[in-house]
Amino acid sequence: MDRTAAWELVTAHVEAAGLRRHLLAVEAAMRHYAARLGADVEEWGLAGLLHDWDWEIHPELHRHPQEGIPVLREKGVPESVVQAILAHNPEGTGVEAVAPLDYALLACDEVTGLVIAAALVRPSKDVRDVEVRSLKKRWKERAFAAGVNREEVEQATAGFSRVCFGGELDLWTHVGNVLAAMQAAAAALDLDGRLAAPVA
């Protein structure tokens, strides 16, 4: 499956703009890290773009993503991507992360939610106006981006750091990398200011 076919699958099954934005954000982060690590950018991007494609069909953690996996296999999604998608919900699937791709997806997934929330509360609605220091400040506010499990993000980042960076990637460097990837994709994410209220 190529990127065009993957996006067609997403648009056929994901109606919510917020979920589409999330998938595109994780794709951007995954592509960033693949390029940095010398991995397959298309493969890593696919994992990001498709990891929650079935959420609106199976919005329960004991069904997602495993019940959507047969469709991905039928469409020719590589097993490495299938493994990563299964491993991003280990509690529901029983599949643990083993490959760098798996650890990267776990580490990038929820961080994008923090960045998106920070962009959307800004008057400009522009992710390019978000800074790591503001994310750091918001991190301690549990009510902010409440759906982002801080402990899971810390654990996932630590695992990704250990497997891919020899333990040298700290949480805030990782958040900064994800932010930079999303800033580069601001237009695709509709976080380039177009959602801001018009100035009277």
In a domain, 104, yes or no: yes
pLDDT of residue 64: 87
3-state secondary structure the chain: CCHHHHHHHHHHHCCCHHHHHHHHHHHHHHHHHHHHHCCCHHHHHHHHHHCCCCCCCCCCCCCCCHHHHHHHHHCCCCHHHHHHHHHCCHHHHCCCCCCHHHHHHHHHHHHHHHHHHHHHHCCCCEHHHCCHHHHHHHHCCCCCCCCCCHHHHHHHHHHHHHHHHCCCCCHHHHHHHHHHHHHHCCCCCCCECCCCCCCC
pLDDT tens digits, residue range 13-68?
Answer: 999 999 999 999 999 999 999 999 999 999 999 999 999 999 999 888 788 898 89
Count structural domains, the chain: 1
Residue 195 falls inside a structural domain:
no
pTM reported for the whole predicted model: 0.95
Residue 190 within a domain: no
Q: In terms of residue numbers, what domain contains 96?
A: 3-184
Domain membership flag for residue 58 = yes
| CATH classification at residue 80 | 1.10.3210
